[in-house]
């Protein structure tokens, strides 16, 4: 470790009261990683004479891609505004620069650790030891000051902690600490006066491997001046100077490991209900941790293949898999951008690439850039990207390259799909509001300077869709689950089919019975008296409008992400209940699911797709068990559209909630006395006021069999959090701005679209129009506590929250659904005028107001969804 310094032995202590330091350690670790790159960037800017003016457009440096990475780094911590004219330091940035001497010195200390040779951290030379001792002294001086900034502190602490923690690891966790290290750790509260590790210190040491990510980037950061001057270009894969591969392998594995368990349900579903693959191939396997994890779960039922471009990684994987007891693992050299070459290598070992399940973690954004056709992508990614020659690369070019990359894999994943754990970038204005919840600055700098290409989650999913892939929404996991960004997503992707329900539809388009498409179809009850169908010639315009809001281009294989994720949560719980019921059912039983408030059939469609994926019809047929999904709703254009989409699905049945006398029917009456095993209510309960909700709860309880499950979601139940809004909050804001125009003392001062609409409104129509608007959107949203109270007399269960992004364009489409717009702004009777007003208010008022707030995501807003899983008493 430190050369020529006195050491003391450091032990652990349990003398202090137990305390949970885990959350604090996680948060500070993110800040430390950001702090390391920020202090390194400031050191480089100081060396270039740019610390006062900042790296703006007139800084005198060539416009390389690396300069864009530096600007984005500082913007992600809220210190630099690259969009200002001219680009400049923000107030927070200017405040931080009051500590410039300390920050630059921290960066200089880190620049001493530019070596990438294995074991470089174990022993420091005397000059580095002296520099570290001086840095500890400066930190003590800063720490004693009255003015402290958390991120500045993270920069200074991180600059000292990275070499300390990596040296401790290189010394195999050595207990003997040099005096300067002990002094520093004592100041942080990590060791006590007797040099014993405190509980706080032990909590932080558990994150020690994560410091390797920052450490592996130091060789690159040490030469940042050369990159910014255009004198040097990084060549991906050349680890000789810009990254310690050994360090990167174990640190990268530590970063990915927490997400492996999130993917377990994907493998469990495939091996329990599907057709298992011949092998599992982990591209970019690193040290083999994911394959070892899967072997612990799946055993020797499948062969394990690890692929990596690094010999260091393959050696580590060989050791890891041998220790895990994996028999005959196949380890190959390969690159994520070259599936065709992988296929050839697998064939040499008697394996067909199409017979495997291909998995990757944090690998796709690290592909080598090859390019694609940018005309077919939106160019919405906010990242700073570097072309192979060091010049800036546009968002559209990166997205086109990602689509082309995924298309190269598509021919090989038709049988089993692929599982991707992917890390995503976050827009700087969002990241700067969530410091400590992610390490956006560190992530973007390391990936950007290394010519890697992460994009935002929504952009990534758009590129997957354009490549002809679709995600299994019920298996998706996102981290974090309640903030206005996604840092990591876990998904299984399969090749999209034009109509994923076609395989089980038994009738032709005229409704004539056709040959059974699946085994067990005869177990599905045929239509009986009382089943609902729309009147001939029913107007489907409104239903189609909603359907297009839920599915891209009305394609049932491509649900929009704003609703797919939340619906997937419901479907996951419903499938768990169906499978549990199947284990207890007897021959001749029928498992029934009731879709309450089915609308255009979104939940039933998504549930049916999973039933097909899990081979539910065949499994139930083998047990002699029937299966039915009963869609229940009021007879509207939405429900008529649902009928058109699902009428040929053998297990789908349709029922009207309204009787022939015009009155609401109880669900047990709707079901003709048959009880159901599961009720799902997808996007329904937020529409019900307190009284109707109590009636709905009682009716659902009547139709549920004892022990039956109710699973629901709702996007407009309060309360929202600081980082989210409710689904109809944008529409409430639309209504507010419209009413302000109506009530303006002088409407002639309103913008033209509003002025013209106000002139057409009759004051006598306003009372009725307000009632219609209040029926469509509750002025004050109901709460999850109110729903739980309505269910409490009949059921027991839990509720929870997650958030999902609603893109601004999707929010506009919501308001423009024919029946929605006619009720939101009922004062305007002319549809063309009404749509002009909606577009104007949404784009000029609502989007900017919510998009710049704490719930803004960059492309839309973070919507708070409430979920509940309840069991009938």
Instruction: Give the separation between CA 491 and CA 497, rounded to whole angstroms.
Output: 17
Q: b/e for 134-147, b at 16 or more Cβ within 10 A?
A: ebbebbeebeeeee
At 143 the pLDDT is 86
Instruction: Give the separation between CA 93 and CA 74, rounded to whole angstroms.
Output: 8
Q: What is the pLDDT of residues 120-149, one digit of tens each?
A: 677 788 999 999 999 999 999 998 876 778
Pairing of strands 279-283, 356-361: parallel
Instruction: Give the separation between CA 838 and CA 812, rounded to whole angstroms.
Output: 8
Whether 182 and 8 have beta carbons less than 8 Å apart is answered as yes
Instruction: Give the separation between CA 602 and CA 683, rounded to whole angstroms.
Output: 10
Give the C-alpha distances (Å, rounded to integers) separating 492 from 267, 426, 564.
Answer: 10, 22, 14
Q: What would the two tokens of residue 490 be? A: 């876990």
Whether 783 and 831 have beta carbons less than 8 Å apart is answered as no
Residues of the chain below pLDDT 70? 1-19, 116-120, 146, 172-175, 237-245, 505-530
At 515 the pLDDT is 35
- In sequence order, the β-bridge partners of residue 420 are 360, 491
Domains for the chain: give ranges and CATH numbers: 7-228 (no CATH), 260-495 (3.40.50.150), 508-683 (3.40.50), 729-779+806-863 (no CATH)
Query: Nearest Cα to 286, choosing from 331, 251, 317, 320?
Result: 317
Cβ within 8 Å of residue 510, ≥6 positions away: none
At 172 the pLDDT is 64
- In sequence order, the β-bridge partners of residue 868 are 712, 799
Helix-helix angle 126-143:150-170, to 10 degrees: 150
3-state SS, 789-833, equals: HHHCCCEEEEEEEEEEEEEHHHHHHHHHCHHHHHHHCCCCCCHHH
Query: What one-character DSSP code corresponds to residue 751?
Result: -
Cβ within 8 Å of residue 862, ≥6 positions away: 483, 484, 723, 724, 725, 803, 804, 805, 806, 855, 856
Whether 743 and 712 have beta carbons less than 8 Å apart is answered as no
Cβ within 8 Å of residue 678, ≥6 positions away: 574, 577, 578, 581, 592, 593, 594, 708, 709, 710, 711
The DSSP-derived string for 58-124 is TSSS---HHHHHHHHHHHHTTSEETTSSS-EE-HHHHHHGGGHHHHHHHHHHHHT----STTTTT--
Element at 161 (helix H, strand E): helix 150-170
Q: What would the two tokens of residue 352 be? A: 């067909």
At 57 the pLDDT is 78
Q: What would the two tokens of residue 438 be? A: 């992610």
Instruction: Give the separation between CA 458 and CA 424, rounded to whole angstroms.
Output: 9
| Cα 171 from chain centroid (whole Å) | 37
Q: What is the pLDDT of residues 655-684, one digit of tens each?
A: 999 999 999 999 999 999 999 999 999 999
């Amino acid at each position: 470790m430190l050369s020529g310094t006195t050491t003391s032995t450091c032990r652990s202590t349990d003398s202090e009261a137990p305390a949970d330091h885990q959350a604090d350690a996680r948060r500070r670790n993110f800040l430390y990683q950001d702090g390391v790159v920020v202090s390194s960037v400031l050191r480089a800017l100081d060396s270039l004479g740019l610390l006062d003016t900042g790296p703006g457009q007139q800084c005198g440096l060539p416009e390389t891609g690396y300069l864009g990475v530096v600007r984005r780094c500082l913007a992600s911590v809220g210190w630099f505004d690259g969009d200002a004219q001219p680009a400049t330091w923000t107030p927070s940035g200017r405040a931080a620069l009051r500590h410039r001497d300390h920050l630059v010195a921290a960066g200089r200390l880190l620049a001493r650790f530019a070596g990438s040779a294995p074991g470089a951290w174990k022993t420091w030379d005397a000059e580095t030891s002296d520099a570290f001792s001086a840095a500890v002294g400066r930190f003590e001086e800063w720490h004693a000051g009255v003015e402290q900034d958390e991120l500045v502190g993270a920069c200074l602490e991180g600059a000292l902690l990275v070499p300390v923690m990596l040296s401790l690891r290189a010394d195999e966790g050595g207990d003997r600490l040099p005096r300067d290290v002990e002094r520093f750790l004592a100041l942080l509260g990590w060791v006590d006066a007797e040099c014993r590790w405190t509980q706080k210190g032990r909590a932080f040491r558990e994150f020690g491997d994560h410091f390797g990510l920052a450490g592996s980037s130091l060789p690159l950061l040490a030469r940042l001046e050369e990159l910014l001057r255009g004198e040097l270009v990084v060549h991906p894969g050349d680890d000789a100077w810009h990254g310690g591969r050994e360090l990167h392998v174990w640190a990268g594995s530590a970063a990915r490991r927490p997400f492996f368990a999130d993917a377990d349900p994907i493998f469990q579903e495939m091996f329990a209900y599907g057709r298992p693959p011949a092998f599992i191939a982990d591209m970019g396997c690193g040290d083999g941790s994911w394959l070892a994890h899967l072997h612990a779960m799946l055993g020797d039922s499948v062969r394990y293949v690890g692929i990596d471009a690094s010999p260091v990684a393959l050696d580590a994987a060989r050791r890891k898999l041998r220790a895990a007891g994996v028999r005959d693992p196949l380890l190959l050299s390969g690159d994520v951008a070259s599936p065709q070459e992988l296929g050839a290598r697998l064939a040499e070992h008697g394996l067909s690439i199409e017979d495997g399940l291909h998995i990757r973690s944090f690998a796709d954004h690290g592909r080598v850039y090859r390019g694609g056709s940018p005309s077919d992508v939106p160019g919405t990614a906010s990242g700073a990207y570097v072309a192979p020659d060091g010049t800036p690369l546009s968002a559209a070019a990166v997205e086109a390259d990602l689509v082309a990359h995924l298309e190269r894999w598509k021919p090989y994943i038709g049988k089993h799909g692929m599982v991707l754990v992917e890390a995503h970038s976050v827009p700087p204005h969002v990241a700067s509001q969530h410091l400590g919840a992610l390490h956006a600055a560190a992530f973007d700098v390391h990936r950007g300077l290394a010519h890697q290409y992460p994009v935002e989650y929504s952009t990534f999913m758009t590129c997957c869709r354009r490549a002809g892939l679709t995600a299994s929404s019920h298996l998706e996991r996102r981290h974090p689950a309640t903030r206005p960004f996604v840092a990591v997503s876990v998904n299984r992707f399969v090749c999209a089919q034009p109509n994923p329900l076609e395989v089980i539809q038994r009738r032709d388009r005229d409704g004539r019975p056709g040959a059974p498409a699946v085994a067990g179809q005869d177990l599905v009850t045929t239509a009986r008296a009382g089943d609902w169908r729309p009147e001939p010639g029913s107007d489907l315009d409104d239903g189609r409008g909603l359907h297009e809001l839920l599915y891209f281009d009305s394609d049932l294989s491509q649900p929009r992400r704003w609703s797919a994720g939340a619906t997937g949560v419901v479907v996951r719980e419903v499938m768990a209940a169906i499978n549990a019921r199947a284990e207890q059912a007897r021959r001749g039983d029928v498992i029934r699911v009731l879709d309450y408030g089915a609308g255009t059939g979104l939940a039933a469609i998504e549930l049916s797709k999973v039933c097909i994926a899990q081979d539910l019809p065949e499994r139930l047929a083998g047990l002699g068990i029937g299966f039915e999904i009963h869609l229940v709703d009021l007879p509207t254009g939405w429900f008529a559209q649902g009928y058109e989409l699902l009428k040929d699905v053998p297990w789908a049945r349709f029922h009207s909630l309204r009787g022939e006398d015009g009155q609401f029917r109880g669900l047990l009456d709707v079901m003709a006395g048959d009880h159901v095993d599961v009720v799902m209510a997808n996007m329904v309960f937020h529409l019900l006021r307190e009284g109707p909700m109590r009636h709905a709860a009682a009716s659902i309880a009547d139709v549920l069999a004892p022990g039956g499950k109710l699973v629901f979601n709702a996007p407009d139940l309060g309360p929202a959090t600081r980082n989210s809004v409710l689904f109809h909050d944008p529409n409430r804001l639309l209504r507010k701005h419209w009413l302000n125009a109506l009530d303006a003392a002088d409407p002639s001062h309103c913008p033209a679209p509003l002025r013209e609409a106000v002139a057409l409104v009759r004051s006598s129509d306003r009372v009725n129009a307000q009632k219609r608007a209040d029926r469509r959107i509750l002025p004050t949203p109901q709460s999850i506590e109110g729903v739980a109270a309505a269910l409490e007399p009949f059921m027991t269960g839990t509720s929870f929250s997650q958030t999902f992004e609603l893109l601004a364009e999707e929010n506009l489409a919501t308001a423009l659904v024919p029946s929605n717009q006619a009720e939101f702004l009922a004062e305007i009777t002319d549809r063309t005028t009404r749509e002009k007003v909606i577009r104007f208010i949404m784009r000029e008022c609502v989007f900017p107001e919510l998009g710049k707030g704490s719930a803004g995501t960059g492309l839309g807003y973070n919507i708070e969804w409430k979920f509940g899983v309840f069991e009938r008493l």
